A and B are shown apart, each in its own frame.
Chain A
Amino acid sequence: MSGRKRIQVDESEWYRLQREASRHKDVIRNLPALIREVRRQTEDDLERVFGVIEDRQRSVEQAFEGLSEQTRRLETETQERLRAQARRTAEELRATAGELRKETREQLAEQESRLRAEIEAERQQRRRDIRRIDSELGELVEDRERAAVLAREALSDARTLHNLIRGTLPHEQYAPGRLDGLEVTLDRAQVNIAQGRFDAALATAQGARQELGELRLDVEHRELERQTLRVYAREGLLLIERLVEDSARQTARDEKDEALEGFDLDVDYWTHGELTALLEETEALRRRVEDEERPPSADELRDVLRDRAPALRERLERIVERAGRRQFASQERVNLAESVVRALERMTAYELDATTYAGGDQRDAYFARLVHGNRNAIVVEVAPAAPDSGASVLRVLSYDHDTASSTELEERGVELTRALREHGIPAADPQEEPGRPDPAYTDFDALSRRRALPSTATDTQTATEG
């Protein structure tokens, strides 16, 4: 004779559908307040980043005062195009700020290629301009005097540009050592001038000037690109942070995905702290993106944008969805326990006298105790079967003092299964578990306090299988 009956109850139809649907479902909602906040932050960010760019460009323009006529004209034109480009980019960013895009990757690629095309066009334009200027100059270098003047002019322009780059642009980040190399070239041109080798000095100074101009353009472009990526990345991470914070406590949803007022879903609780971990990870990543000391490279940012942020977001969705399902499964366990108790009360005339979650923890097994006038008792346990399977293990533990025979207990299990099935609950045939039920299960005070139980359904299963 055994007073232990184990009945496996499969996941409910609803649970199965939910589980399947969640793969294609965005559990994160586009909440206007959240979007507004992220937009505001992005705007601030843009303001700051492009403010810096603007400031620099202004100081660049001031530095242009020291340039020769021709070079100033050339650089000023370039500078205007750069400013226009930066403004355009800023506008674009501002316009899309806070939009939660699925297609980040594609958009990013498109934006990059557009930027590159613009840069390439810009570069070509400069080269054309320089060739034009050079050809104009070529006619003038006939005499030595003239050459000396030009060489000194070119060297001065180059020095100005060199100082400009050194003073305003993060050149080491994008072209490390290049500026220093050019300085050597300029020094050589200086020596040549001093030694009166004006032709050589002119050629050297002119080459360096051109290279410095291209370097400036390149660094400006790269900086713009990086800053753009950084804004994007930060926005993305911020959004995830906000989403995480927002998802942490949400209104519980019913089986029809409608909000259940008055019932919260504490995602962190139901996922055993997964949400907190996610938030911490996201914050760390954002801090890395924001790092000014050791700013992240464009590639790093690209990686964040393309892979890491989406992955975090994906994780968030899974966590939220899992929390919802676990909460739902917990409710289902109580429902099942109630159905079982209802059936048992009708079948046996025992009466319910206590219910509790194991250790008072809703994530754990649910217990209900029925008693008979003759002191007989039945304890019903509904435990989760495998993690997140949606299935439950129902155990009926009989504590009979008198008449219960094995056939009686058997019938009790069979009748119960039948009753559950009649109510649409996919209950498997009852299985007998060896041994007598542990009296510890009848002590509901202890049960509701203690977390470690003498044995659980899962343990028993392992034991039986082993």
Chain B
Amino acid sequence: MTGPLVERLNGFRLPAGDPLFVVHGLGVDDVFVGHDYRVRGIEELLWEVLHQAGFSRIVYSSLSQPLYFRDVASRDLSRPRRRTAPAAERRMMRPEFSGPLGRRVVRESAPPDEGQLTVPGPAAPALTDQHRVMMLDHLMKQTEHRTAVVLGHAEESLRHDRAERALAGALAEWAQHGDDHNLCLLLFSRNTLDDVQEFVGELRGLPLLESYLRDQSGRSARGATAAIGLPHAAELERLVHVLRLREGLRIGDWRGLPLTVRAMAAAPERAKNWRAMLRQLVRDERPLDLAELRRRHWVGGSSQDDRGVSDRIRDMVGLSSVKEHLERLRWRVTAEAELRARGLVTAADSGSPHLVFTGNPGTGKTTVARLVGEIYRDLGLLRRGHLVEAEVPDLVAGVVGETAIRTNRTVDRALDGVLLVDEIYRLSDQQRGFGQEAIDTLLTRMENDRGRFVLIAAGYPDKVEEFLGSNPGLRSRVPAGNVIRFPDYEPAELHAILLAQLRAVGLTWTPEVEELLGEVTRGLYATRDEEFGNARAMRDLTQELKDRWAQRVRGVVTEPVQPADLPERYRAHVRTAVPDVDELLAELDALVGLAPVKEMIRDLVARLRLLRSHGGAAFPPPHLLFVGPPGTGKTTVARLVGGLFRSLGLLARGHLVEVTRAELVAGYVGQTALKTKEAVRSALDGVLFIDEAYSLSRGGHGDFGMEAVDTLTREMEHLRGRLVVVAAGYPGPMEGFLAENAGLRSRFTERVPFPHYSGPELVEILRRMARGREPGYELSDAVARRAQSWLDRERVAHPADFGNGRTVRVLLDRMEARMARRLGPDVSAGRAPAFAPEDVPDGDQ
């Protein structure tokens, strides 16, 4: 026979020159259905392999059966003196023994108690561990007959052997002095070589075997080790036929049989388990088909999975670019497979199958990864095509040496399938280089287990890019063409996903609600940050809606969802009609002066109204520069602008957070960025007002202010549409500051000048301020005139720090004090007193 008996043994090679051969994997405990439709155990299978390889004596040993054989020749070679099988005559000795009474056994062994049930006699003493080792050692060392010793259940043997020292010594001796004559096979049911290595390491008694294994795992072709995995579809198909012919298994769907066995092969089951399950079908008199297997949860997948690959790609919501990419991938792989089948491919490597998925959470990366697995499986590139999702903790450990083991174990789980590593860039954050160790291990496995698994690295786009940039080894294995970008779902897609999910949880809704949810998804989309969950966020919303609805309808489930069921935190996204500009500006108009501000707001409103009337989306609110001397109402206006933007639907909250250098800059490296980010977060969906913004660059070289500026710049970009930054200050320094920070300057699109108030404006401010006091004062014309001349004098006397509004407040305070002095203690409680012209101070006091 040419080729191995089963597909699982493809690539199974006996070592050349190594005396120890470690065989491991889930298949080690399995049965095998050969091309000849014979069902064999691992021992039988190995017997054939070893026999073909020219071993004339094949000996088996396990803890429970210290020495046994599968063929007479091997037994006779090992026990040359045992000519005949011992006669099973009762109470007779073996022929070699004879006394005066011949072979008779006269000695009464303990007579069985008549009253009791007959129990089996005492167990015959088994070969002791010491002597088992002695025997195996002898067999391994003799040269007369080429001998293979198969040490089954090696875990048990190594752990529980009472002659551990002798065994360790023997193994060491074989490993060191062995030639290519005799061979010892150690069968481990551990899945991976690393597991085996870890197990042997834990035993602590077998240092030589340990280092032998370590050497093996370092060898690229895996040296004297072999893994036997789970059955392939072809083998399972033979199993099905064996059971069909011999045990009466019925096939429900002949045409679907290839798909059925493929699904079976994708389930992580041993052939013997499948045999038991199929026998169950026979007993239950049920035919074998995919639906039956699914009904019994013996194979994964939903009932829609029998759609073709194209259908499945097409049926995905949104993701148009991903779909294109997948189609491309699919046809590339198909062509690849076809070329290979025709023998036209000569290059050893025909393109990397590994992929990178970039995108925010909830953008369908996992779903697509699963689909990729199935595409690869259907095209024969992967045997099982299952998906193993891994995060950094699945790859990295906190102890030296553990990381490689952990990574290897995760890769082993993903063998014949897809390994999706989410947030892969977090590997570079890991301490003590463990992340790099994991990356290196991954690279080794990608090389050694070429074609056995597909790595999909996933995460936020820029972070993945950055990560790949710093890991050229990884980058080289994932060509640019294999990077698939998962854009955030568009609002309409989010809306569709949301409605589908609502439908899936059994809810109905009014058209009004549908409209409302459209607005909410648009709002969510507009205000999304990097944490935004996309489809996941829709799932959350669905859940919250359902909770509110359930509370309201109290069991009347025919009641549709109403707008009232929308949770509070989503209401911010509900767009009201663009308010009338005059109405909006009423409050602003109440302020004195500020013509440029008012003009800017009017422009925004007009622009928004134009967009809305044409069905367009809102635009992100602009960052503002408020340039002007102190006391010209910048803070007041900033607060008003927050409210205005909220009314216009440009900001979700519109609150004002006022900060200065102290709130942004810290004293240590790295702290400033955090402090700045914190400030930014607190102002999210509102206004961050930075007074005297130029003070950030005040410290010069080495100052952390620059860090604050850089952080701020980055955050403004990231949180575009979620935040309005208002930078305020004197015109001169502000100009200088922006000139130094070009990145910052480009982000402030609106510059609003706050000029000094004119004399009459200041008087008008004074008048409103006085009216605003409790009790309200009225100013007579004489008082007003006197006040204006005082203010004019002040402005002339202190041109640099004239406080405008603030100076007006100072004036009012003084006027109040002087009036109080004038009126003395006898103030009647009735009518409010009025200012007299003399209450206005004369000059600068």
Tell me whether A349 and B134 are in contact (CB under 8 A). yes
Contact A349 to B122, CB < 8 A, known contacts A263-B101, A335-B105, A424-B109: no
Query: Is there a chain B Cβ closer than 8 Å to A459's Cβ?
Result: no
Which B residues touch A92, using CB under 8 A? none
Contact A260 to B96, CB < 8 A, known contacts A348-B127, A348-B134, A424-B110: no
Tell me whether A263 and B81 are in contact (CB under 8 A). no
Query: Is there a chain A Cβ closer than 8 Å to B667's Cβ?
Result: no
The interface-forming segment of A19-27, A149-157, A326-334, A433-441 is: A326-334
Tell me whether B98 and A334 are in contact (CB under 8 A). yes
**Minimum distance in angstroms from B319 CB to a CB of chain A:** 67
Bound-state CA distance A394–B162 (Å) is: 26
Chain A residue total in the interface (Cβ 8 A): 55
> Of A338, A355, A373, A405, which is within 8 A of B142 by CB?
A373
**Minimum distance in angstroms from A265 CB to a CB of chain B:** 8
Tell me whether B97 and A337 are in contact (CB under 8 A). yes
* Chain B 106-147: CB-based contact to A (< 8 A → 1; otherwise 0): 111110000000000011111110111111011101100000
Query: Is there a chain B Cβ closer than 8 Å to A102's Cβ?
Result: no
Tell me whether A418 and B125 are in contact (CB under 8 A). yes
Tell me whether A411 and B107 are in contact (CB under 8 A). no
Query: Is there a chain A Cβ closer than 8 Å to B93's Cβ?
Result: yes
Query: Is there a chain B Cβ closer than 8 Å to A362's Cβ?
Result: yes
**Minimum distance in angstroms from A11 CB to a CB of chain B:** 10
Residue of B nearest to A423 (CB): B109
Query: Is there a chain B Cβ closer than 8 Å to A13's Cβ?
Result: yes
**Minimum distance in angstroms from A276 CB to a CB of chain B:** 19
Tell me whether A327 and B125 are in contact (CB under 8 A). no
Bound-state CA distance A411–B135 (Å) is: 16
Tell me whether B67 and A331 are in contact (CB under 8 A). no
Query: Is there a chain B Cβ closer than 8 Å to A32's Cβ?
Result: no
Which B residues touch A334, using CB under 8 A? 93, 97-99
**Minimum distance in angstroms from B60 CB to a CB of chain A:** 13
Which A residues touch B139, using CB under 8 A? 373
**Minimum distance in angstroms from A427 CB to a CB of chain B:** 12
The A79-116 residues at the B interface (CB cut-off 8 A) are none
Among B66, B82, B94, which residue has the most Cβ atoms of chain A within 10 A? Answer: B94
Bound-state CA distance A415–B123 (Å) is: 13
Residue of B nearest to A263 (CB): B101
By DSSP majority rule, is chain B's interface helix, strand, loop, or mixed? Answer: loop
> Of A331, A333, A416, which is within 8 A of B104 by CB?
A331
Which B residues touch A280, using CB under 8 A? none
Tell me whether A353 and B81 are in contact (CB under 8 A). yes
Which A residues touch B702, using CB under 8 A? none
**Minimum distance in angstroms from A113 CB to a CB of chain B:** 50
Which A residues touch B142, using CB under 8 A? 373
Which A residues touch B162, using CB under 8 A? 411
Query: Is there a chain A Cβ closer than 8 Å to B79's Cβ?
Result: yes
Contact A252 to B127, CB < 8 A, known contacts A351-B81, A353-B81, A372-B134: no
Which B residues touch A172, using CB under 8 A? none
The B616-671 residues at the A interface (CB cut-off 8 A) are none
Residue of A nearest to B144 (CB): A373
Tell me whether A263 and B93 are in contact (CB under 8 A). no
Tell me whether A254 and B127 are in contact (CB under 8 A). no
**Minimum distance in angstroms from A370 CB to a CB of chain B:** 9
Contact A415 to B106, CB < 8 A, known contacts A252-B100, A352-B96: no
* Chain A 305-348: CB-based contact to B (< 8 A → 1; otherwise 0): 00000000000000000000001101111111110011100111
Tell me whether A252 and B101 are in contact (CB under 8 A). yes
Residue of A nearest to B136 (CB): A349
Taking Cβ atoms with an 8 Å cutoff, the residues of B that contact A are 66-67, 78-82, 93-94, 96-102, 104-110, 122-128, 130-135, 137-139, 141-142, 162-163, 166
Q: List 30 A-B contacts (CB under 8 A).
A: A12-B108, A263-B101, A328-B101, A331-B106, A334-B99, A335-B93, A335-B97, A335-B106, A336-B107, A338-B97, A347-B125, A348-B131, A349-B131, A349-B134, A351-B79, A351-B81, A351-B82, A352-B94, A355-B98, A362-B100, A366-B99, A368-B97, A373-B80, A373-B135, A373-B139, A403-B137, A408-B130, A424-B109, A424-B110, A425-B109
Beyond contacts A12-B108, A255-B108, A332-B107: 16 other A-B pairs, Cβ-Cβ < 8 A, are: A13-B108, A252-B101, A255-B106, A260-B101, A260-B104, A327-B100, A335-B97, A338-B93, A338-B105, A341-B97, A347-B131, A349-B66, A350-B131, A376-B134, A403-B166, A415-B125
When A and B form their complex, which 9 residue pairs have the shortest distance between CB atoms, in order from nearest?
Answer: A334-B99, A422-B122, A424-B110, A424-B109, A419-B125, A331-B99, A348-B131, A351-B81, A349-B135
